[in-house]
Amino acid sequence: MSTLEQVCRKLATRLPANNVAAQSASLATLWPAEFFRLPATVFWQQATTAQRDQLLYLCASTLLREALGIERTAMDYCAHRVLATQDALEKQVYSLTGADEARHYHWLCSIADPPTIAAEPDSFTRFLQRLVAEGSPHTQSYLLQIILEGWGIHHYQRLARHANDAAVSAVMNGIAQDEALHYAAGVAHFDATRLDEAERGFVRAALAELCAMLACGPLSVLGVVETVAGGFDDATRMQTLVALAEPAQTEEKLQQLARYIRHSGMEAEADWLAKQGLLSPMPAEVGLRYYG
Ligand SMILES: [Fe+2]
Ligand SMILES: [Fe+2]
């Protein structure tokens, strides 16, 4: 494990990556339909070429909107932590991390189109904004850095692995590399023994919300399909979610998340989530309660 001094030295002395993507002709070409499991739905199978293009555009735009929201909130978070500490080492770590987040946002803006950049924050971004506004520094080091930066490494690697465009893939890999260092800063700062009861309660509520967002399945993709289809009845909505969902992959993502949750001193939190059934994929009828 690195100390905060060691993380600070790495952040301050490495050369920033220079992998800015060229503006893409269309977001619809960034990730393949299979990445979103669209071909498994009846709507895709019967869709016109124009509808398929619209589905791919909206799925990519939704992904990028979420990533832009994450990076923008990460800039706010770092500024917040710089102001919250009198410690010069912490100020350096969060200022350097904030510069990384600004660079990530800039890279993503080079890929996204203006409507995607201008879109209102999505529900995941609003969740992060609440953690930044309401969390204490210790709950934030755990929730935002150990869990979400840790999780972000895999998320961006996945976006890189499946991207059609080499420049987009390079951007996503560049972000993933930086997030690993931000995760290391969280690990160096966090000490579970310093959390009081109120902070443990805040952490549990946030973790329950986070796990439910993942366990409910690909509701944002369902939203895109329903929008392009012009609305679904209840049976078609359920059938489409079942087609889009891949419970084995959701299970794997939840287990990945659980490994970060089960940080030293926080094992009880992971056990509590497992007991609530929040570390397992929800059946479609339960997942749909979180829709819309
Ligand atoms: Fe970032
Ligand atoms: Fe980060």
Please identify every residue whose CB atom is under 5 Å from ligand 1, which is an ion.
71, 101, 104
Q: Which two tokens stand for residue 5?
A: 């001094």
Whole-number Å distance, alpha carbon 70 to ligand 2 midpoint, is 9
Give the model confidence (pLDDT) of 162-211 as tens digits: 999 888 999 999 999 999 999 999 999 999 999 999 999 999 999 999 99
Q: Which residues of 186-198 are buried (b: 16+ CB within 10 A; e: fewer)?
A: bbbbbebeebeee
- Containing 289, the helix (H) or strand (E) segment is none
Nearest ligand to the CA of 97 is: 2
Q: Tokens 């993933």, residue? A: 176
How far is the centre of ligand 2, averaged over its atoms, from the C-alpha of 241 (Å)? 31
**Mean pLDDT taken over the chain:** 93
Q: Region 68-80: what's the mean pLDDT? A: 97
Q: What are phi and psi of 184, to 5 degrees?
A: -60, -35
Q: Which two tokens stand for residue 3?
A: 């100390």
179 CA to centre of ligand 2 in angstroms: 4
User: Which SS3 state, helix, strand or coil, does residue 149 take?
Assistant: helix
For residue 133, how far is its CA from the centre of ligand 2 (angstroms)? 17
Task: Provide mean pLDDT across the span 27-45.
Answer: 97
pTM above 0.85, yes or no: yes
Q: What is the pLDDT of residue 26?
A: 86
Distance of CA 232 to the CA centre of its chain: 28
pLDDT at 20 over 80: no
Give distance in angstroms: CA of 42 to centre of ligand 2: 38
Q: Given this model, what pLDDT does residue 58 score?
A: 97
Distance 228 CA to ligand 1 centre (A): 31
| Sign of the dihedral through C-alpha 115, 120, 126, 128 | positive
Instruction: Encode pLDDT of 197-250 as tens digits.
Output: 999 999 999 999 999 999 999 999 999 999 999 999 999 999 999 999 999 999
Q: Provide the CB-side half-sphere exposure for 22 (13 A, CA).
A: 5
Ligand 2 centroid to Cα of residue 287, in Å, is 29
CB 19 within 8 A of CB 189: no
Q: Which long-range contacts link 226-231 to residues 24+ away (Cβ below 8 Å)?
A: 227/58, 228/43, 228/47, 228/51, 228/54, 228/55, 228/58, 229/43
Nearest-10 crossing angle of helices 4-13, 166-189: 150
Structural domains for the chain: 1-9+46-190 (1.20.1260), 196-292 (no CATH)
Report, as an integer, the average pLDDT of 36-47: 97
